[in-house]
Amino acid sequence: MNYNTEISSEGFSIINNVFTENEIENLISLIENKTANNQENYTFRKSQDLFAIRQFHKEIPETLPFIFNKKLQDIVESTFGKGFFITKSIYFDKPEKSNWFVAYHQDLTISVNQKIEAENFENWTVKQNQFAVQPPTEILENNFTIRIHIDKTTKENGALKVINNSHSKGILRIEKLDFEKEKETICEVEKGGIMIMKPLLFHASNKTTNNERRRVIHIEFSKQQLPNGLEWSEKTILN
């Protein structure tokens, strides 16, 4: 099935039953083995409200065969076509009593390997030895993100909220959105389901209120070459 129409019009799509119980258990096992033995890694971020692994697919590459099962490969290819590669991945673990919340925002930066000045690449930052930059809008418009849900995600444990079709308005300050006229959706996803979204879609998440854990693998994709010798720092081509 092609989900492109919904993603184009709404900015996102929710697809359940992409992963079997067994595939999810294998992912959990690989993640737990890695984190149990390696708490000091600089790509790990740990607080009482959130545990995160940046560069997830590089830190735990053994997960990739389970992530890119036949079902997910078919969804990506039928929806977006061929030639896409991973540009960034993060594992989020929002614990049962987490007060972590995220205000409405767009995902405006990409990770690159070094700082090279290029036209319309702006707002450079460095975090944990990683350069991030806001690229031209058309790069963001052509990328997409897949969020793999390790746990059932509901409005009570911090499911994403989105503003439907907000990705179609380009890069915007949140004050420019008239919330009275916009449609907001809470994106509840079953365990083993995915959410596909566009980076420019406004999204947020609330605090957890039901003492249930929320674990998500967030993977960003592109098929675009960057200019002036700039390279995606986490680029991984899928076989």
Tell me how far apart the alpha carbons of residues 202 and 180 are, in angstroms, rounded to a whole number.
Answer: 15
pLDDT digits 0-9 by tens, 167-219: 999 999 988 888 889 999 999 999 999 999 999 999 999 888 888 888 999 99
> Comparing 22-31, 94-103, 158-167, which segment has the lowest mean pLDDT?
94-103
Provide the Cα torsion 229, 132, 15, 60; round to 10°.
Answer: 90
Residues in CB range of 159: below 8 A, 6 or more apart: 153, 186, 187, 188, 189, 205, 214
Q: Which of 207, 220, 238, 212 is closest to 112 using CA atoms?
A: 220
Domains in the chain: boundaries: 4-237
> Does residue 135 register a pLDDT over 90?
yes
Fold of 4-237: Jelly Rolls (2.60.120)
Residues 173-211: b if buried by 16+ CB within 10 A, e if exposed: eeeeeeeeeeeebebbbbebbbbbbbbbbbbbbbebeee
Q: What is the pLDDT of residues 38-61, one digit of tens each?
A: 555 555 655 555 688 999 999 999
